[in-house]
Amino acid sequence: MEKFKLPSIHVPPLTLPDSVRSVMTRAEEKLAHRPRLLRQFLNCYPNTLETATKLTDDGTTFVLTGDIPAMWLRDSVEQMIHYVPLAAEDPGLQRILSGLIRRHVRCILIDPYANAYNESPNDWHWDASDVTEMGPWAWERKFELDSICFSMRLAYKYWRATKRSDIFDDSFKEAIRTILALWRTEQRHMERSPYRFERDCGMLTETLLNEGRGLPVNFTGMIWSGFRPSDDACEFHYNIPGNMFAAVVLGYMREMAMEAYRDEKLASQLARLEEEIKHGIRLYGTYLHPEFGRIYAYETDGFGNYCLMDDAGTPGLMSIPYLGFTACDDPIYLNTRRFALSTGNPYYFEGVAAKGIGSPHTPLRYVWPMALSMQGLTAVSADEKRRMVDMLEATDADTGFMHEGFHADDPAQYTRSWFCWSNSLFAQLVYDGMEKQWL
């Protein structure tokens, strides 16, 4: 296995936009009674801008995931999404966000199957021996349905927040068409898809079986995915949270096709695929659990096999309302949430320091701060939201930052000291508490 040796990473810090500085100033007043939480927020809220964001000469924006010299579509959006509500009156922030949208469009048009990209066509790869159609721009080529969804989520949220339509050029429309064609192909992956991925590293979570095609699936109307948001291989290749996200995003793309391009035909094609996915979720995406009742499965193959679990990454079952697929008080979601926060979920852990959802991507009994933040963001009650903030505040190992995962009994045992997505999601939760006055 030829894994690229990570170079030293240094991105000069940006001058923080005025709107971001304003939020931090307000936090000094609103969180003055909680100095540890204030320190964490002042560290985490601007972290992506201060350590991982590069404005390039071509007018785009490149955003590192943190400790890896590449940009993940998913991560870079969630690292920035908490700034979008501030962008309407801040030209500096508009430059950063619109530049990131343009960079995403470029990446999608280069290779819509990739999940992470290089800043330039330098031919850097996570594993140079991967068996797939790798190009010089792709850092990693794991097809994850949710990746492109995040790109369109950012564009839509930015458009609605700022009312600016300058992102809607010919390339953006071409990206929408590329996504539609890709997802139509991956509805019938076994029959039509050219995509293959194999990695010879001795870990089944890093490769696809069946000569890189993945295990067989039945047609359901949903879209096939090779890998999960954690970058681990799917067990069964219809990831339900990912398909929910795709359905939501198809609605976003339909609105953009109509309002920005006045293209009724394209909008109709997007609407049809959206309804096919929703139909597939209704027919194949739920499971009648003997303890929790009707719940959403994490994955299925359309043949009656189900993966019942939740993973800390977004999209996951916990994040269904965050994605916009259903409300926080939806009965099936509430059943699913009770399952995900129980020992029925093999990646739910309880310890003396914390309890919450982890991932097969990290060691057993490691809880992810991102999962705690998402639990808070999707909670119905203010009490549960406050409990999540309290738990996050107490488990940073006195670093002032969030991590990927930490041991439920000992937060000093953690993975990834520089993980911008986790910092941003935590900051989003605390900001919500400040603005809605539940903190």
| Residues 114-143, mean pLDDT to the nearest whole number | 96
pLDDT at 6: 54
- Please list, in sequence order, all residues whose beta carbon lies within 8 angstroms of the beta carbon of residue 362, skipping any fewer than 6 positions away: 368, 404, 405, 415
CA distances from 172 to 95, 109, 243, 256, 434 (A): 17, 9, 22, 10, 35
DSSP-derived 3-state class of residue 61: strand
Query: Which pair of tokens denotes residue 132?
Result: 């797939």
DSSP secondary structure of 227-281: B-TTSPBPSSSEEHHHHHHHHHHHHHHHHHHHHHH--HHHHHHHHHHHHHHHHHH
Weakest-pLDDT range from 4-13, 215-224, 412-421: 4-13
| Residues 131-153, mean pLDDT to the nearest whole number | 98
How does 210-234 read in b/e, with b if 16+ C-beta sit within 10 Å?
A: eebbbbebeebbbbbbbbbbbbbbb
| Closest CA relative to residue 117, chosen from 148, 79, 156 | 148
pLDDT at 7: 54
Phi first, then psi: what are they for 328, rounded to 5°? -65, -25
Mean pLDDT of the chain: 96
pLDDT value at 81 more than 90: yes
10 Å Cβ neighbour count for 415? 15
Interval 317-326: pLDDT, tens: 999 999 999 9
Place of tokens 């953006």: 172
Band (pLDDT 50/70/90 cuts) for residue 5 is: low
pLDDT at 2: 39
Domain spanning 57-344: which CATH class is it, in words?
mainly alpha
pLDDT value at 235 more than 50: yes
Interval 365-399: pLDDT, tens: 999 999 999 999 999 999 999 999 999 999 999 99
pLDDT value at 358 more than 50: yes
| Residues 269-293, mean pLDDT to the nearest whole number | 98
pLDDT at 67: 86
Angle at 336 between CA 319 and CA 322, to 5 degrees: 15
pLDDT value at 3 more than 60: no
pLDDT at 12: 80
pLDDT at 4: 44
Listed in order, the ranges of the chain carrying CATH 1.50.10.10 are 57-344
| Closest CA relative to residue 190, chosen from 218, 156, 228, 159 | 218
Distance CA 24, CA 242 (A): 33
pLDDT at 9: 61
Interval 151-194: pLDDT, tens: 999 999 999 999 999 999 999 999 999 999 999 999 999 999 99
Interval 294-352: pLDDT, tens: 999 999 999 999 999 999 999 999 999 999 999 999 999 999 999 999 999 999 999 99
Distance CA 11, CA 137 (A): 19
Tell me the whole-structure pTM to 2 decimals.
0.97
